[in-house]
Amino acid sequence: MEGITSEAFILGCSAIGAGLAAIAGIGPGIGQGYAAGKAAEGVGRQPEAQGDIIRTMILGQAVAETTGIYGLVIAIILLFVRPLMGAL
């Protein structure tokens, strides 16, 4: 019975880590949808405050999106750069 090579183990762990990092995009998507819905409700209640509501919503969504972008960057690094292969 042969065991798994250390290279295959590291590549498998990198793929699992990339998948987990990509899941980080779910949270910002839900949060941004919720924020956009609440902003639409706010504009519906007070149309004269539309500029302030939209400005605040866009700033909040930009901050929320950074989490998803960081997760995507980590996933790409784990899949294509393979930083753990230098440890062998």
Residue 33 sits in a domain whose CATH number is 1.20.20.10
Q: What is the mean pLDDT of residues 19-27?
A: 88
Asked whether residue 11 is domain-assigned, the answer is no
Asked whether residue 22 is domain-assigned, the answer is no
- Number of folded domains that form the chain: 1
Asked whether residue 53 is domain-assigned, the answer is yes
Confidence of residue 86 (pLDDT cuts 50, 70, 90): confident
Q: Is the pLDDT of residue 17 over 60?
A: yes
CA 32 to chain centroid, in Å, comes to 12
Query: What pLDDT, on the 0 to 100 scale, is given for residue 1?
Result: 54
Q: Is the pLDDT of residue 41 over 90?
A: yes
Query: How crowded is residue 18: how many other Cβ atoms within 10 Å of its Cβ?
Result: 19
Question: Where do runs of H (alpha helix) occur along the chain?
Answer: 6-22, 26-45, 50-76
C-alpha–C-alpha distance, residues 19 and 28, integer Å: 16
User: Which of the pair, 79 or 88, is modelled with greater confidence?
Assistant: 79
DSSP state of 46: -
C-alpha–C-alpha distance, residues 62 and 8, integer Å: 38
In tens, the pLDDT along 43-76 reads 999 999 999 999 999 998 888 888 889 999 999 9
Residue range of the domain that includes 46: 27-82
Asked whether residue 75 is domain-assigned, the answer is yes
Model's pTM, two decimal places? 0.72
Asked whether residue 48 is domain-assigned, the answer is yes
